[in-house]
Amino acid sequence: MAAPFRGAVDLSTDKATLLRFRTILPPGGMAKSHCQPRPALRTIPPMSIRDKIFSLEQLLQWRRAARAAGRKVVVTNGCFDILHAGHVTYLEAARAQGDLLLLGVNGDSSVRELKGPGRPLNSEADRAAVVAALQSVDAVCIFPEKRAANFLAQAQPDIYVKGGDYTPDTLDQDERKVVEAGGGRIVIIPFVPGKSTTGLLQKMSAG
C-alpha cells in the first residue's frame, strides 16, 4: 500500500515547507491518459538540509504550523556526535510514532558537560547538518542547556521519545513535567545493543 501523502505547510517565511518534498498538479490540472484520467504529478527537488534547521525562536512558528496542519509531532533529543547505525535505527523508530520528527541537538557547551572536556568531536552546526540530512528527520533545533526542558517547552511534543532503559520514573522529571503538562505522552525505545559513540571511540583509541 502506498504511503499517505503528506502535504507541505507554507510558513510564509524563509522556511517555506515542513517536509522534504511537495507534489503538485500542473496548471492544466489533469493529464490525458489512454486508460483513465489521473493527476500529472511533478516532484519538487528535496529541501536543502539547512532549511530543516531552526533556531529556538523559529521553532515556535514551525510548531504552530504543524499543529494547524493536524500533524502529530514526535520529539527526541541527544548529542549525535558521531552518527552511527544505532542512531539511524533509533531515529527511524521514533519517526514511525507520528507524522513529523523534530530532533533537538545539544549545543557544544552542554555536550562538554554531559560527555567530558574532549567532546564534542564535531561542532553543533556540523552535527545538526548531518542529522538534518536523514530522511527520518523533518526538523532540527540546537538547544544550549544540558537538559531539554526548555527546548521541550518550545517544541510541545505530541510524543516525546527517549532511548535506552528509562522508565517514566527515571526520566528527568522537569522534562517529564513539561511534556505531560502540554498533553504529550512519553515513549521509550531501546537502543541498539553494541552501537554507541563511546564504543566507537574506544575502538579507535585501541586500534
User: 108 in helix, strand or coil?
Assistant: helix
Neighbours of 43 (CB within 10 A): 9
Answer yes or no: is 27 within a domain. Answer: no
Answer yes or no: is 114 within a domain. Answer: yes
Answer yes or no: is 117 within a domain. Answer: yes
**pLDDT single digits (tens) 31-59:** 343 445 544 444 445 568 889 999 999 99
Looking up residue 185, the CATH number of its domain turns out to be 3.40.50.620
CA–CA dist 62, 18 (Å, integer): 8
Neighbours of 114 (CB within 10 A): 14
CA–CA dist 175, 87 (Å, integer): 21
Answer yes or no: is 25 within a domain. Answer: no
**pLDDT single digits (tens) 124-142:** 999 999 999 999 999 999 9
Domain count, the chain: 1
The pTM is what?
0.75
Q: What's the confidence (pLDDT) of residue 41?
A: 44
Answer yes or no: is 15 within a domain. Answer: no
What residue type is 54 in one-letter code?
Answer: F
Answer yes or no: is 22 within a domain. Answer: no
Please state which of the ranges 9-13, 155-159, 165-169, 202-206 shows the lowest mean pLDDT.
Answer: 9-13
Average pLDDT, integer, range 156-180: 92
Q: Give the structural domain span for 118.
A: 48-206
**pLDDT single digits (tens) 138-159:** 999 999 999 999 999 999 999 9
Answer yes or no: is 97 within a domain. Answer: yes
Beta strands, E only, 19-81: 23-24, 30-31, 38-39, 42-43, 53-54, 73-78
Answer yes or no: is 199 within a domain. Answer: yes
